Amino acid sequence: MSKKVHVQAKINGADSEFLCEPRQSLLEVLRDELRLTGSKEGCNNGNCGACNVLLDGKLVNSCLVLGVEIQNRSVTTIEGVAGPEGLHPLQQKFLEHAALQCGICTPGFILAAKALLEKNPHPNEHDVRFWLAGNLCRCTGYDKIVRAVLDTAK
């Protein structure tokens, strides 16, 4: 086993530090070291988007980032999406539209949709579907997800 590395980063706005092995993905660090289990492991190879987080504001698959790579950087996970005043509008709309079945893909979809709306506050359906192409819902509830995102953007 290689030596553990000390990493300092901002996680959901708070200064955070942890020890990790270089082989550990950011997803493993979030779940196993920091106990932030909202980010899910789906495929673990970058196809499904269930582990999506924002790294310095950019949408990434946390399974394809090493924990050691986030030294001095900032990460937003699903746990950091709701504000002190309550759910994020996307979370609220996902609830209203019942845009989830088993829920495993939901954190990734919310982070992906959040990144989209920050870039393009008024997407059309094509924009939403194109942007969410990197997120898989194995319950195949895409239509409600797309409607929830479009409704949030209204």
Partner 1 sequence: MKAVDYAAPRTISEAITLFSEKGDRARALAGGTDVLVQVREGRREPDWLIDLKHIPELNELAFDSKVGLRIGAAVPCSSIYESALSKPYAALIDAASLIGGVQIQNRASLGGNLCNASPAADTVPALIAHEAICIIAGPEGSRETPVEKFCVGPGRTVLGRGEILVSFQLPIPRKHTGTQYVRFIPRNEMDIAVVGVGVSVTLDESRSRCIAARVALGAVAPTPLLVTEAGAALVGGALTDDQINKAAKLAQAAAKPISDMRGDADYRQHLVGVLTKRALSDAIARAKDKEN
Q: Is 60 in the site for partner 1 (CB under 8 A)?
A: yes
DSSP string computed for 10-48: EETTEEEEEEE-TT-BHHHIIIIIS--TTS--SSSSSSS
38 binds partner 1 (CB under 8 A): no
Q: Which of 78, 112, 148, 149 binds partner 1 (CB under 8 A)?
A: 112
Is there binding between residue 109 and partner 1 (CB under 8 A)?
no
The tally of CA atoms less than 13 A away on the side-chain side of residue 99 is 26
| Residues 118, 140: Cα–Cα separation, whole Å | 25
2 binds partner 1 (CB under 8 A): yes
Q: Contacting partner 1 (CB under 8 A), which of 6, 22, 98, 118? A: 22
The beta strand positions in 12-153, using DSSP E, are 14-20, 52-55, 58-61, 74-76
The single residue among 30, 115, 128, 145 that binds partner 1, judged by CB under 8 A, is 115
Distance CA 21, CA 61 (A): 19
Nearer to partner 1, 43 or 98 (CB): 43
Residues that bind partner 1 (CB under 8 A): 1-3, 5, 21-25, 44-47, 49, 52, 55, 58-61, 63-66, 68-69, 112, 115-116, 130-135
